[in-house]
């Protein structure tokens, strides 16, 4: 078992504990079973030590008593009370500056409110069923003045809502709560009754009236954040009604005499609680070749991104018809998806592509370091990086080409406000140049920086740093850099800088003979700023080398006719290499100079 490197707090709402307090099964529908909580905890223990916290009140008590030294909180709390209940624990953690898994408080508050979610999706052009909003019942001035006809007429989608069937549902429930077949209505009388019933059951919530989507329904599993978000799988929710392919499993017993079962075409909470059965059935789709699944996934990922969802979850999609021109519509976004082993769609979708439960939890935890700003990352590791110049510079000649200047500025950005970057063995002119350039850039988001004429050995002597506390990043090292290398083992991380070292001439050998402990960053040559960025991701953010996304030898395209290939490895930002700001423009200018006769 690998050495634990993370201190993890685990926040959750236990279904059994809430039921024991006297709350109903419907009120506890979104809370987790103890078996789920224990299974997640077991996976987390493979990543580090785990402190079992519980819900909001338990977390509050811990935070009030002391400032915890957790590296991360694995949060699956659903919260209790109000439309913003899922945001309660994340908001508290944000106030304390503690990083946590899954989406932030703003996104969780938004996504739980389906009415506001639809408004945002509409703004970004993500298909969603035409709708009207019935205000919360506790905001009605006079019940007699509230009519579904007037609500529909006041909607921007009034024309699309003139044709039945329509569908009504509460705007801020999950797990199918408040959903049933009777919510599908065929006239205004039925609609008024359903809206009245829902507003009495959920008086603080907006009631949504939507055009009923009669097509196929899917749930899409998503991993990642922002440009790195991707669909990992698609499952169809196959209903018996009007579907000649159901039941999928011929061994399934279907009561064809049950009219309620035959007419079922919505995924209610009661159906979800019943578990696996004849109607509906869940069928994994081939995302690589099925165009219907692919279009559903495209809409799901777009919705995930525009809403700012993070790390992992699900998006539910339903087509507006069963014909060839059907359009996939987003019906719900689940940024806090269920993780019940062998039951919940999200882990089952992950399993379908070879990601087992432990790997899924690990991926979610590791992803947080890629998605959170460095202001959240609090670590006991060293943030000191040293770049030793290996060029034979003339004392009066500046040896800092423009591209190197951009890389050095990028190193300050990558090291962040908690870091310190030292440049050593500089000529007088280079030292003066960098000192002036650094003093002019006083952005508080950048690292501290210093330029020295002394070499690394002299600097270690004056600052009292022993040899075994300096890690030399050496391409020929036997061991790769690992997260545990940042846990007090080293105080400084040293890079040999050779701006004109292409192809590489092993100038690092001049440092290797000094006897530093060494680590490598992989087999492909990197720029110095990339090497620093990778080092920080590993030792500070605890991301193993193999989990960092890279782009090797990228082609930088300026237009249809002009491009240049870079002979290095870079950290990937989505489909693009992470280059220093201004580098692409400089490369283009240099390319044009090449052809300037």
Q: Which two tokens stand for residue 77?
A: 């709390």
- Per-residue pLDDT reduced to its tens digit, 543-565: 999 999 999 999 999 888 889 99
Residue 465 pLDDT = 86
Question: Length of the chain in residues, anyone?
Answer: 597
Euclidean distance between CA atoms 133 and 153, whole angstroms:
11
Query: What's 580's DSSP letter?
Result: P
| Domain annotation for the chain: domains and CATH numbers | 6-100 (3.40.50), 130-211 (3.30.1490), 217-371 (3.30.470.20), 384-594 (3.40.1280.30)
Sheet holding 184-185, edge to edge: 131-134, 207-211, 166-170, 184-185
- Per-residue pLDDT reduced to its tens digit, 339-385: 999 989 999 999 999 999 999 999 899 777 555 534 344 444 457 99
31, 73 Cβ separation under 8 angstroms: no
| Residue keyed to tokens 């329904």 | 217
Euclidean distance between CA atoms 313 and 347, whole angstroms:
9
The CA-based angle 296-298-303, given to 5 degrees, is 95
Collect contacts of 20-29 with beta carbons under 8 A, ≥24 apart.
Answer: 25/273, 26/177, 26/269, 27/80, 29/174, 29/175, 29/176, 29/177, 29/269, 29/273
Tens of pLDDT, residue by residue, the chain (597 residues)? 333 468 899 999 999 888 898 888 878 878 889 999 999 999 999 888 999 999 999 999 999 988 788 989 999 999 888 888 999 999 999 999 899 999 999 999 999 999 999 999 999 999 999 999 999 998 887 655 678 999 999 999 999 999 999 999 999 886 677 778 888 999 999 999 999 999 999 999 999 999 999 888 999 999 998 888 999 999 988 776 666 555 445 454 444 444 555 555 655 545 555 554 555 667 888 898 999 999 999 999 999 999 999 999 999 999 999 899 999 999 999 999 999 999 899 999 999 999 999 999 998 997 775 555 343 444 444 579 999 987 665 655 556 788 888 999 999 999 887 789 999 999 888 888 888 887 766 676 778 888 999 999 988 887 888 999 999 999 999 999 999 898 778 989 999 987 655 566 676 888 999 999 999 999 999 999 999 999 999 998 889 999 999 999 999 998 888 899 999 999 998 888 999 999 999 998 887 765 443
Euclidean distance between CA atoms 545 and 522, whole angstroms:
8
| Residue keyed to tokens 């770049």 | 387
Buried b (16+ CB within 10 A) or exposed e, 454-480: eebeebbeeeebeeebbbbbbbebeee
Distance separating the N- and C-terminal Cα atoms of the chain: 63
Euclidean distance between CA atoms 262 and 257, whole angstroms:
8
| Residue keyed to tokens 């609609």 | 191
Euclidean distance between CA atoms 58 and 117, whole angstroms:
30
Find all residues with CB under 8 Å of 25, minimum gap 6, and list them. 19, 273
Half-sphere exposure of 282 (CA within 13 A, CB side): 19
Euclidean distance between CA atoms 129 and 112, whole angstroms:
17
In degrees and rounded to multiples of 5, residue 82 shows phi and psi of 90, 160
- Whether this prediction's pTM lies above 0.85 is answered by no
């Amino acid at each position: 078992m690998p050495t634990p490197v993370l201190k993890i707090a685990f926040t959750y709402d236990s279904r059994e504990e809430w039921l024991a307090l006297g709350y109903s099964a419907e009120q506890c529908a979104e809370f987790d079973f103890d078996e789920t909580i224990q299974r997640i905890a077991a996976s987390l223990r493979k990543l580090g030590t785990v402190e079992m916290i519980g819900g909001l009140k338990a977390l509050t008590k811990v935070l009030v008593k002391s400032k915890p030294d957790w590296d991360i909180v694995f949060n699956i709390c659903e919260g209790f009370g109000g439309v913003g209940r899922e945001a309660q624990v994340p908001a508290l953690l944000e106030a304390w500056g503690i990083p946590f898994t899954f989406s932030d408080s703003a996104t969780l508050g938004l996504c739980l409110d389906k009415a506001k979610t639809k408004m945002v999706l509409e703004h970004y052009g993500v298909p969603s069923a035409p709708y009207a909003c019935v205000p919360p019942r506790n905001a009605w001035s006079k019940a007699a003045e509230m009519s579904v006809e007037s609500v529909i007429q006041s909607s921007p989608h009034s024309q699309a809502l003139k044709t039945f069937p329509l569908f009504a549902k509460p705007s801020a429930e999950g797990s199918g709560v408040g959903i049933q077949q009777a919510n599908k209505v065929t006239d205004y009388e039925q609609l008024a009754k359903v809206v009245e019933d829902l507003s009495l059951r959920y008086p603080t919530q907006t009631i949504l009236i939507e055009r009923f989507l009669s097509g196929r329904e899917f749930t899409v599993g998503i991993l990642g954040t922002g440009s790195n978000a991707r669909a990992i799988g698609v499952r169809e929710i196959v209903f018996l009604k009007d579907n000649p392919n159901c039941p999928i499993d011929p061994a399934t017993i279907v009561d064809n005499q049950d009219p309620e079962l035959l007419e079922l075409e919505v995924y209610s909470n009661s159906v979800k609680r019943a578990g696996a059965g004849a109607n509906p059935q869940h069928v994994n789709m081939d995302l690589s070749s099925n165009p219907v699944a692919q279009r559903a996934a495209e809409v799901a990922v777009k919705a995930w991104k525009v809403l700012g969802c993070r790390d992992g979850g699900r998006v539910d999609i339903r087509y507006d018809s069963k014909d060839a021109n059907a359009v996939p519509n987003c019906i719900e976004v689940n940024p806090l998806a269920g993780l019940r082993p062998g039951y919940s769609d999200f882990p089952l979708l992950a399993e379908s592509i070879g990601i087992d439960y432990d790997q899924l939890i690990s991926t979610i935890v590791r992803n947080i370091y890629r998605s959170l700003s460095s202001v959240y990352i609090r670590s006991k590791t060293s943030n000191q990086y040293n770049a030793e110049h290996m060029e034979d510079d003339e004392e009066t000649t500046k040896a800092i080409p423009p591209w190197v200047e951009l890389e050095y500025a990028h190193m300050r950005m990558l090291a962040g406000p908690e870091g310190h970057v030292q440049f050593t063995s500089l000529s007088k002119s280079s030292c003066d140049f960098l000192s002036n350039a650094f003093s002019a850039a006083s952005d508080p988001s950048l690292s501290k920086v210093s330029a020295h004429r002394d070499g690394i050995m002299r600097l270690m002597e004056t600052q009292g740093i022993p040899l075994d506390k300096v890690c030399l990043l050496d391409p020929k090292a036997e061991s790769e850099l690992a997260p545990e290398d940042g846990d007090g083992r080293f105080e400084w991380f040293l890079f040999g800088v050779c701006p004109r070292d292409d192809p590489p001439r092993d100038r690092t050998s001049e440092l290797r003979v000094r006897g530093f402990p060494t680590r490598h960053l992989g087999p492909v040559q990197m720029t110095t700023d990339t090497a620093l960025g990778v080092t920080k991701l590993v030792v500070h953010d605890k991301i193993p080398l193999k989990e960092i996304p890279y782009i090797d030898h990228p082609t930088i395209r300026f237009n249809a006719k002009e491009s240049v290939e870079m002979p290095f490895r870079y950290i990937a930002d989505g489909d693009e290499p992470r280059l220093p700001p201004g580098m692409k423009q400089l490369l283009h200018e240099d390319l044009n100079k090449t052809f300037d006769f």
